[in-house]
Amino acid sequence: MTESQVKSALFEAFQGDVWVFANGTFLPELSSTIEGVEVSKLSDKPETALGSIAKASKDPFAALNQASFVDGIFISVPKKAQIEKPILMLSFNKENEGQVIQPRVWIEVGDFSEVTFLDQSISLSDSAYFVNKVVEVKGGVNSQISYYRLQHEGKNAIEVSNIETDIQQDAKFTSVNISLSGDMVRNNLSLNLLGSNSEGNMFGVYLLHGKTHVDNHTNVDHTIPHAESNELYKGILADQSRGVFNGKIFVRQDAQKTNAFQQNNNILLSDDAIVNTKPQLEIWADDVKCSHGCTVGQLDEEALFYLQARGIDKTSAKGLLLYAFAGEVLEKIEEESFRNHVVNLIQERLGSKF
């Protein structure tokens, strides 16, 4: 990897720090250093409770990663740290046919700290390769963590990602996952609410074409009273693409006064596109406010006709309606430059593929 390759991958108006990875290996010589934030190899941190959040016993791909990764990265944000600039984790997957890449990341955020992570994958070719990524996040008391992820692998890539998070009292974790490409993709996202007044937000958009297959599997575990979770995933599927949403909210018996909301909405743009959606609630407490639901449908023909009747051509009208559909999730990305980058990619896709 070269510095020029890194610079060319940065999106317009980005003002933040960059950590660079190549085939899952951290490259400190091309990465920023942030005062107060510790970044080191996992091999230098043998005391790290690796696998305590993403348990190998519960997921075979997490087990495969734990058995096979060469080295990972340890990230520690100290107590009472306000990291004002976003941290971009830029992962380059290089052009090795048949490559198996096993990235491993451990993130711990101290009490009363605030940080935003941007996670972007970039393919340098259309070679076939397999990425099996595990990220464990540990949020302290009253920590504020935003994790925005852009999954944009090569068209022949297979990717499995496990992002698993524990947060404590008064903490807030917000995830936005954008899936745009790849051959087969599975995104596993789990959140454990371990302290009262904690809040978890999980949002996602999958915008699929060709024969791309994307699974989104989410799990929220409410273990204590007075916690809240919000979940909204939206899918737009064209051609022969396949989408899966399998979300579960688990409310334990002691988790009274829980608020939990889950919704999955989908638009199919062809007769050959398929989505399987399964929102789930498992509630063992009796004083809760919970809801879940899903929709699958086509583009609103009346709205499309309305826009065309006002001089907007059909392709543009369709793009506007689809962008408005996805926009409810995109506006959850508070980091402006990253949001604009994602919006540009989606608008380009809507104009060229749909």
Residue type at 86? P
**Pseudo-torsion of CA 248, 253, 254, 255, nearest 10°?**
30
- CA neighbor of 341 nearest in space, from 105, 32, 21, 88: 88
From the CB of residue 317, how many other CB atoms can be counted at a distance below 10 Å? 20
Q: What is the residue-wise DSSP string for 133-149?
A: EEEEEEE-TT-EEEEEE
More confident residue, 69 or 233: 233
Give the model confidence (pLDDT) of 74-99 as tens digits: 999 999 999 999 999 999 887 667 88
Give the model confidence (pLDDT) of 68-78 as tens digits: 998 899 999 99
Give the model confidence (pLDDT) of 192-221 as tens digits: 999 999 999 999 999 999 999 999 999 999
Q: What is the pLDDT of residue 8?
A: 84
Q: CA 207 → CA 179, 212, 326, distances in Å?
A: 6, 10, 9
**Cα–Cα distance, 20 to 8 (Å, whole number):** 13
Q: What ranges make up the beta strands (E) of the chain?
A: 17-22, 25-26, 38-41, 73-77, 87-93, 99-101, 104-109, 114-123, 129-139, 144-152, 158-167, 172-181, 184-193, 199-208, 213-222, 228-237, 242-251, 258-268, 274-283, 288-297
Report residue 49's pLDDT band, with 50, 70 and 90 as the boundaries.
confident
Name the DSSP letter for residue 82.
B
Average pLDDT in the 177-186 region? 95
- CA neighbor of 249 nearest in space, from 257, 259, 240: 259
Report residue 354's pLDDT band, with 50, 70 and 90 as the boundaries.
very low
**Any idea what the Cα angle at residue 285 is, between residues 281 and 290, rounded to 5°?**
40
More confident residue, 35 or 219: 219
Domain ranges for the chain: 16-160+168-182, 196-298, 300-354
Average pLDDT in the 221-246 region? 98
Q: What is the pLDDT of residue 30?
A: 92
Q: What is the pLDDT of residue 318?
A: 92
**DSSP alpha helices (H): ranges in the chain?**
3-9, 60-68, 301-309, 314-330, 336-353
Confirm if 93 and 101 have CB atoms less than 8 A apart. Answer: yes
**Cα–Cα distance, 223 to 44 (Å, whole number):** 33
Q: CA 106 → CA 156, 183, 270, distances in Å?
A: 28, 27, 41
What is the token pair recorded at 33? 């250093």
Residue type at 57? S
**Any idea what the Cα angle at residue 120 is, between residues 194 and 203, rounded to 5°?**
45
pLDDT for residue 106 is more than 50: yes
Q: What is the pLDDT of residue 254?
A: 96
Residue type at 30? L
pLDDT for residue 239 is more than 50: yes
Tell me if residue 312 falls in helix, strand or coil.
Answer: coil
Confirm if 110 and 82 have CB atoms less than 8 A apart. Answer: no
Task: Tell me the percentage of the chain whose pLDDT exceeds 70.
Answer: 99
Q: Return the residue matching tokens 């807030």.
A: 172
Beta bridge partners of 257: none
**Cα–Cα distance, 239 to 237 (Å, whole number):** 7
Q: What is the pLDDT of residue 95?
A: 63
Q: What is the pLDDT of residue 325?
A: 95
Name the DSSP letter for residue 11.
P
Average pLDDT in the 156-181 region? 96
Beta bridge partners of 151: 179
**Cα–Cα distance, 85 to 335 (Å, whole number):** 9
From the CB of residue 143, how many other CB atoms can be counted at a distance below 10 Å? 27
